[in-house]
Amino acid sequence: MKTPLIDNLQYANWSQTIFRQMRAGGVDAVHITIAYHESFREMVLNLEAFNRWFERFPELIFKGTCAADVRLAQSTGRTAIFFGFQNPSPIEDDIGLVEICHQLGVRFMQLTYNNQSLLATGCYEDDDTGLTRMGKQVVQEMNRVGMVVDMSHSADRSTLEAIEHSSRPIAITHANPHWWHPALRNKSDDVLKALTGRGGMLGFSVYPHHLKDGPACTLQSFCEMVAEAASRYGAEHLGIGTDLCQDQPDSIVEWMRVGRWSKMIDYGEGSATDAGFPPMPSWFQDNRDFGNISQGLLDVGFSEDEMDGIMGGNWFKFYDSSFGPET
C-alpha cells in the first residue's frame, strides 16, 4: 500500500465541501482541533457534533484512534479524523480526565495555548517558568495512556522541559523554524534539535503568520526551508501540519486568541489593524493542494521516499508508536 498522506493539524469550519475536498486531495488522515478553550463538558459537545458528521458522511470520513485506521482509510477511500486539543482546558484541574479523554478518542493535547496554563507556559508570556508540578505529572499520564504531548504554542523552556520529562517522543504539530521566519510561535533551533534528537516530530505550518513573507510566501521558499530543516534535523522527523482554518469566520480568531481569559482582543500573531484570518498563499488554498507541496519538495531535491515521509509516512510511524499505552 502506498505511503499515506497525513495533515497533522486543521481547524476548519467543517462541511461536506471540505470533506469532499479531502477526498479529492487524497488526504488519508487529518488531526483536527476538537477544543481550544472549552471545559470538559463543552469539549464533549464538540465530540457529539463530530459524531453527527461521521453519521452523515460515512462514505467520506470516520473517527481514527490508531495507525491502523490510516490504512483503513486508504483501503476504503475515506479520511480518518483524529482528535486533539490546542489547550489543556478540557482536563480542567483533574489529572484523571487525561485517560477519560484518551478513551473518548483524543490523541494529542497541547500543554498550553499562548498563555500560562496549569501545566506550562505559553509562547506569549513574558516569563517562562517551565513545566509546573501538575504539568510534569500530566506528561507522565499522557505517556502512560498514549496521548501525544504537543508543544506548538508553548514557550522555549517549557518545551525543552517537556521533551526532557517525557518518556516518549513529543510533537510540535504546527509551527516553522524561527531561523526562517521570526514569529513568536515559530521554534528555535535549540528546541528543534532537542525535539528531533529525542525522536519527536515537527509539522510544518502554512498558516500565513508562520510563513516568511506571509501570504506572499512562495512555494519554493517554503520547500527550501523544509530542505534546510531536513539537513539540520533529519527528514525522518518532519511532516506537515498545515494549521488550515478554511471557511472560518473572523470571529473565530477572537475566540482562539481571547477565549474567556480577557476582556481585550489579544491580536497575538496578527496585527491590531487586521485581527481576522490572513489570506492563504496561492499554492495552498485547501485540501486539494497537497500535490503542490509534494512537487515542490521534489523540485528542491528531496527523493521520492523523503517526500513521501514528509507528506505522511513519518506521521504514520509516529502514530503507530504513540497512540497506545506505554509498554
pLDDT for position 273: 42
211 domain residue, yes or no: yes
300 domain residue, yes or no: yes
163 domain residue, yes or no: no
229 domain residue, yes or no: yes
The count of domains in the chain is: 1
pLDDT for position 260: 76
Are 235 and 2 within 8 A, CB to CB?
Answer: no
150 domain residue, yes or no: no
CA angle, 117 then 32 then 228, to 5° = 85
What average pLDDT values come out for the chain (327 residues) when binned by 10 residues? 96 96 98 96 98 98 98 98 98 98 98 96 96 98 98 98 98 98 96 98 97 97 98 98 86 71 64 67 98 98 98 98 95
pLDDT for position 269: 54
* Structural domain of 225: 6-103+171-322
Q: What is the CATH number of the domain that holds 251?
A: 3.20.20.140
Measured CA to CA, the distance from residue 178 to residue 63 in angstroms comes to 34
Measured CA to CA, the distance from residue 272 to residue 86 in angstroms comes to 23
246 domain residue, yes or no: yes
pLDDT for position 327: 83
188 domain residue, yes or no: yes
Q: Where are the alpha helices (DSSP H) in the chain?
A: 16-24, 40-56, 67-76, 96-103, 133-145, 156-165, 189-197, 219-233, 251-258, 290-299, 304-308, 314-322
129 domain residue, yes or no: no
The residue with cell 522541559 is 161
* β partners of residue 108: 84, 148
From 125, 88, 243, select the one nearest 175 (Cα to Cα). Answer: 243
The residue with cell 470520513 is 61
pLDDT for position 305: 98
